[in-house]
Structure formats: C-alpha cells, structure tokens
C-alpha cells in the first residue's frame, strides 16, 4: 500500500468522526500553543533584559565595595555599607590604568527636589561628565555635568524628563535654579528619555557632580565606580589590573568586587534560558496528556472497528499495514492539532506583544519546531499500543459474529 493511500484511508476514518477528531486535535493544540506562547514570553523577557544590559555598553566593568560571595550577581541598588569604602581618589587612580577609556564614580541617593511651591522626591545620581557616555544617555537640552576634576562640587544639575516636566511644566528649565535638599543648583541640561537602566528610570533622576552629592549626603564614599574599558578585549586585563590596584590602595585587602558586563549577560542568559526551558517543559507535559487521550480514544476505536480490521486482513493487509493505518490516524490528528496550536500560539503571542509592547515577543523557531515534534512523537508513541493491538487482532475471530 502506498503511503498516500494509507493517509487517505486514515483521514477517511478521522473525517467520519469529525467531533471526536477535533476534540483530540484541540487537546493537542492547547499543548502546542502553550509551549509556543510560554517560550515566546520567556525569550521576550530574556531578550529584553539582555538588550537593557547591552545598552550599557559591552566594555563595562562595575566596581562594588565589599567582597561578593558569588560572582556575576546583579548590582544592588541602594547599598553601600562595607568594610572599606571606595573613594573618589580610588576612582581617579582607576582612570589612570592602561586600557581604561573612561571612569564614572557614582553616588546614589534619594532627595527632595523643589522649585517654588513644587516639590518631589527624585533619585539623585552623583557622578561626572563620563557617566553620559558610559551609560549611553542622550541630552535633549543643554550640557551634561561639567568636565574637570571630580572633586569639584559645582552647584549644577541635569534633570530627567519627568522631573523637568513636573517642576517646570511648559516653562524653560535651562539656566533656572532649583533646590535639592538644602542647597541650590542651576539646571544645565535635560536628559532624553532612556527607559529603565540598572534599576532606575532615567526620567526620574537628577544628576549632580559627585563631589556635590557627597557633600549633600555627607559621605566620602562611593556607591559604585563605573569603568569603561577600551573595547571588549580589554575587559579582562583591566579587571585584573583594577583588582590589583585597589588591593594595593586598600592596605592589601581585596575588598572590592568587579562585575563585568559579560559575566552579567552570561548569568542572565543562563537564568532566562533555564526558566524558558523549564516553563515550556511544563507546557510540554500537556502534550503527554493529549497523548494519553489519543491512546484512550484509539483503544476504543480498535475495539469498535474489530470487524473492519479483520476484513482488511482477509483482503490481504499485513499486520504492519494495519498498524501503520492506526499510526497514520494518530499522526494526522497530531499534525492537525499542531497546526491549530501553532496558529493559536502565534495569535496569542501577537496579542501579548500588543499588550506588552516593550517585550520583543516572537515565538522562537526552535520552540515551534520542538512543540510540533513533541506533539507528533507523543501521539505516535501513545498510539503504538493500540496500533499494535489492532495489528495483532485475530482476523477469523474478528470477522465472526459470535
């Protein structure tokens, strides 16, 4: 028998019971669709996070005070209590290392920002001119923090877009004065919108020179030192030199942690890939459930079609032809379910993409291929038993009406 005939016979028997066929296909399709949607979401989240980090630049090193037990952890947002503090002098020393393009010391805190009667809380970033380049930010107005020695506490500030809007409305902000804590600062620039970065929304920040921030917060320590190496290849040697330098400066105590962009990226990549696989693996279990359903329905069908099977054998069908007929039925149902499932999954992904426009939600090809393959394999595996049962049926007995 040609495989075309096998499939057309199998299809005929499926089409004869459209309700039953559709129900099983639907069960299959739900499994396929959930694998597609969940991997799309997982991949979307992974790409979103990786893109966010990549936008920080690939040559980035982050120096954190204190010894970290694990390597490659995400930078905490508001912490700074450690044995020995990082200082502005440390940052300046790092800037002189070979292979370092630029360095931005960073202090972070929350402060009340007010102008006239308007006042609100803002995330205050104390840094230097280099922060703009290191964090790939853009200005829509004015200048960023002034270049020059990092210990110069010029009373100027650069506003995030939302802070500017809330304090100034439609009015011009450039050159105006406002109050941060108990000091007055002059607005010299406004940041373009940037989205989330390292845990802050740049629209909600106010940047001031790091020395001014240290006076404001009454501290001599730094929250982070951001270091940009000259290209990706320089990252590893710079990291080594940097650790050696800071160890020497800190009385031979290796009490800082350096996170590199690559390590962070790799960690996030691993975490998200593992999550995506786990979640889609759970979704794939529903394909196994659909497989059990197929097995059940096929067992009933073999029992109902005993005389038809006996007849086929009397007409010269071999056991393997009978088996293949039933496997073809299972395969066709699974294929039907897979097609419906892919369509459902793509539609759902599209809708989710509309609801969460920041996530790049497209189901990965490998996931679609894996879902379809799993559906087919599950169907054939679970159909094997009923198909073999049909193939082994005693034809004489099946044809007799006793």
Tokens found for residue 110: 């929350």
How many residues bind other proteins (CB under 8 A)? The answer is 27
Q: Toward other proteins, which CB reaches closer, 96 or 401? A: 401
Per DSSP, 301 falls in state: H
The span from the CA of 35 to the CA of 373, in Å, is: 12
Contacts with other proteins in 313-342 (CB under 8 A)?
313-321
Query: Whole-number minimum distance, CB 332 to other proteins, in Å?
Result: 15
Q: What is the CA radius of gyration of the chain?
A: 33
- Residue labelled with tokens 């129900």: 23
Q: Toward other proteins, which CB reaches closer, 10 or 284? A: 10
Query: Whole-number minimum distance, CB 331 to other proteins, in Å?
Result: 19
Query: Whole-number minimum distance, CB 400 to other proteins, in Å?
Result: 7
- Residue labelled with tokens 């809007």: 165
The span from the CA of 388 to the CA of 395, in Å, is: 14
Q: Toward other proteins, which CB reaches closer, 228 or 324? A: 324
Query: Whole-number minimum distance, CB 5 to other proteins, in Å?
Result: 5
> Is the CB of residue 92 less than 8 Å from the CB of residue 150?
yes
Burial environment of residue 189 by CB neighbours within 10 A (0 to 12, 13 to 18, 19 or more): buried
State the binding string over 372-401 for other proteins (x if CB under 8 A, else -).
Answer: ----------------------xxx--xxx
Contacts with other proteins in 72-131 (CB under 8 A)?
none
Closest by CA to 236, choosing from 61, 69, 374, 382, is 61
Query: Whole-number minimum distance, CB 287 to other proteins, in Å?
Result: 29
State the binding string over 296-315 for other proteins (x if CB under 8 A, else -).
Answer: -----------xx-xxxxxx
Closest by CA to 56, choosing from 189, 205, 229, 240, is 229
Terminal CA-to-CA distance of the chain, rounded, Å? 31
The span from the CA of 273 to the CA of 117, in Å, is: 50
State the binding string over 1-30 for other proteins (x if CB under 8 A, else -).
Answer: xx--x---x--xx--x--------------
Q: Toward other proteins, which CB reaches closer, 234 or 312? A: 312
Q: Toward other proteins, which CB reaches closer, 117 or 316? A: 316
Q: Toward other proteins, which CB reaches closer, 2 or 218? A: 2
Q: Toward other proteins, which CB reaches closer, 108 or 398? A: 398
- Positions touching other proteins (CB under 8 A) are 1-2, 5, 9, 12-13, 16, 307-308, 310-321, 394-396, 399-401
């Amino acid at each position: 028998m040609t495989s075309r005939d096998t499939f057309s016979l199998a299809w005929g028997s499926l089409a004869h019971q459209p309700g039953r066929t559709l129900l099983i296909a639907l069960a299959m399709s739900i499994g396929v669709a959930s694998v597609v949607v969940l991997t799309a979401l997982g991949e979307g989240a992974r790409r979103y996070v990786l893109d966010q980090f990549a936008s920080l630049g690939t040559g980035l090193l982050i120096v954190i005070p204190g010894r970290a037990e694990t390597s490659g952890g995400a930078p905490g947002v508001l912490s700074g209590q450690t044995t020995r503090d990082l200082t502005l002098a440390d940052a300046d020393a790092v800037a002189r290392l070979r292979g370092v393009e630029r360095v931005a010391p960073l202090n972070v805190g929350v402060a009340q920002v007010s102008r006239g009667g308007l006042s609100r809380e803002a995330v205050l970033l104390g840094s230097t001119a280099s922060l703009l380049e290191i964090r790939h930010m853009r200005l829509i107005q004015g200048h960023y923090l002034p270049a020059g020695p990092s210990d110069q506490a010029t009373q100027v500030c650069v506003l995030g877009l939302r802070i500017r809007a809330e304090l100034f409305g439609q009015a011009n902000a450039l050159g105006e004065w406002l109050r941060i804590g108990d000091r007055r600062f002059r607005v010299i620039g406004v940041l373009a919108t940037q989205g989330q970065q390292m845990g802050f929304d740049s629209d909600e920040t106010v940047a001031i020179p790091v020395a001014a921030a240290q006076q404001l917060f009454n501290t001599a320590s730094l929250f982070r030192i951001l270091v940009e190496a000259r290209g990706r290849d320089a990252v590893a040697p710079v990291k080594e030199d940097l650790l050696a330098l800071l160890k020497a400066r800190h009385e031979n105590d290796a009490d800082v942690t350096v996170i590199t962009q690559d390590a962070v990226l790799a960690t996030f990549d691993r975490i998200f890939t593992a999550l995506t696989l786990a979640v889609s693996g759970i979704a794939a279990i529903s394909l196994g459930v659909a497989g059990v359903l197929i097995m059940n329905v096929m067992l009933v069908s073999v029992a109902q079609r005993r005389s038809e099977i006996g007849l086929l054998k009397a007409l010269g069908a071999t056991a393997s032809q009978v088996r293949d007929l039933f496997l073809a039925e299972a395969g066709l149902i699974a294929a039907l379910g897979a097609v419906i499932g892919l369509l459902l999954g793509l539609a759902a992904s599209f809708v989710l993409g509309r609801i969460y426009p920041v996530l790049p939600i497209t189901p990965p090809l490998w996931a679609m291929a894996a879902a379809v393959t799993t559906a087919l394999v599950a169907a054939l595996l679970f159909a094997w038993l009923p198909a073999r049962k049909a193939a082994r049926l005693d034809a004489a007995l099946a044809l007799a009406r006793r």
